[in-house]
Amino acid sequence: MKNIFLPLFLICSFYGMSQAELNKYKYIIVPTKFEAFKSENQYQTSTLIKYNLVENGFAAVYDNDMPVDLVANRCLGLQLSLKDDSSMFTTKVTLILKDCLSNEVYTTVEGISKEKDYKSAYSEAIKECFKSLSGLGYKFEPSGENVPPTVSFKNDVKRIEEKASVAPKQNIPNPVVQQKATLEEQSYKNMEPVQSNITKAQSMPDVALPEVEYATEGLGVLYAQPIANGFQLVDSTPKIAMWMWKTTVTDVYIAQATHVAENGIVVKKGDKWYFEYRGDDKIMAQELNIKF
């Protein structure tokens, strides 16, 4: 009977100590790519391990998607690694949990599979590893080891005021006066700020935009032909309908049309071009169909 109870006692003690150690950590960090593999999530090992951790009550996160508190304090989490001792015909893996100082905190039992398909083999072996993690009754219990230090600024202002009140007030030089009084040099410079006579500019009154009347008759398709510093627009006749010259503003041209006497501008609004010129008491605008 002693030979039976002693191993059981040791096993129970081991699991109790393991649970207490794991309870100190809030997260388990799962790599998206393990060192044993060539690519990310090869054989779906990362997703399978994270899934099984969550199923057993652990807060598992990927190493490329960690929460803010874990980024600020890596000691809140355990780094998971996969040890691969596979041979040609047998897949053998062990999961190891290390703290932020690379100390081993927990090692699972070795998972073994004889499956020939790699994905099936690693899946079976990893599930074998989790037999030692399931049923531990994990529950995060914050401790002083993984809580980041906090700095209290309580009473700081009060202390500064107390120190300031003790300082003598006599013989304090005027900070706005600069002076020298020696045998070689005597000077006095008043550095008091001078009141500025610059006043805040008054906001300009809103100016109403001029009324615009759009022409109803179009000029048809106009073809742009390059000229010096601009284009000439010709219709299908072909006949020149307008000249337009570049300005310093993008998509704004000084324009002269052949069908009206007034000069104006050609301007692009959205994806449309318009010829605008001054009428009797309003702005006239005509939409142009320009092919550059």
- How many domains is the chain built from? 2
Tell me how far apart the alpha carbons of residues 185 and 170 are, in angstroms, rounded to a whole number.
26
Tell me how far apart the alpha carbons of residues 153 and 172 are, in angstroms, rounded to a whole number.
30
- Which CATH number covers residue 103? 3.30.160
At 191, is the secondary structure helix, strand, or coil?
A: coil
* Residue at 128 is within a domain: yes
* Residue at 198 is within a domain: no
Same domain, 123 and 240: no
Q: In this predicted model, what pLDDT tens digit does every residue of 107-136 receive, in sequence order? A: 999 999 999 999 999 999 999 999 988 877
pTM score above 0.75 = no
Which of 81, 111, 132 represents a domain boundary (last residue)?
132
Phi-psi domain of 134 (left: phi exceeds 0; alpha: psi -120 through 50; beta: other): beta
C-alpha 145: how far from its chain's center? Answer: 30
Sign of CA dihedral 236, 237, 242, 248: positive
Res. 160 pLDDT band, cuts 50 70 90: very low
* Residue at 193 is within a domain: no
Per DSSP, helices labelled H in 77-150 are: 118-129
Q: Which residues pair with 181 in a beta bridge?
A: 186
Nearest to 96 by CA among 87, 109, 85: 109
Same domain, 113 and 232: no
Domain coverage including residue 234 = 212-291
**What angle do helix axes 118-129 and 45-55 make, rounded to 10 degrees?**
30
Which pLDDT does position 176 carry in this prediction?
55
Same domain, 9 and 120: yes
pLDDT at residue 90 greater than cutoff 90: yes
Nearest to 31 by CA among 46, 13, 16: 46
Same domain, 27 and 119: yes
Which of 73, 103, 132 represents a domain boundary (last residue)?
132
Res. 208 pLDDT band, cuts 50 70 90: low
- The mean predicted confidence, pLDDT, of the chain is 80
Which of 94, 116, 132 represents a domain boundary (last residue)?
132
Could you tell me which residues come within 8 angstroms of residue 31 by beta carbon, excluding any fewer than 6 positions away?
46, 62, 63, 79, 80, 81
Which amino acid belongs to residue 236?
S
Which pLDDT does position 130 carry in this prediction?
93
Peptide bond connecting 142 to the previous residue in cis, omega within 30 degrees of 0 = no
Share of the chain above pLDDT 90, in %: 50
Gyration radius from the chain CA atoms: 41
What are the phi and psi torsion angles at 124 (to 5°)? -65, -40
* Residue at 205 is within a domain: no
Could you tell me which residues come within 8 angstroms of residue 99 by beta carbon, excluding any fewer than 6 positions away?
25, 75, 78, 79, 105
C-alpha separations of 82 from 2, 49, 111 in Å: 37, 10, 11
Tell me how far apart the alpha carbons of residues 114 and 83 are, in angstroms, rounded to a whole number.
17
* Residue at 204 is within a domain: no
* Residue at 39 is within a domain: yes
Res. 191 pLDDT band, cuts 50 70 90: low
Phi-psi domain of 120 (left: phi exceeds 0; alpha: psi -120 through 50; beta: other): alpha
* Residue at 170 is within a domain: no
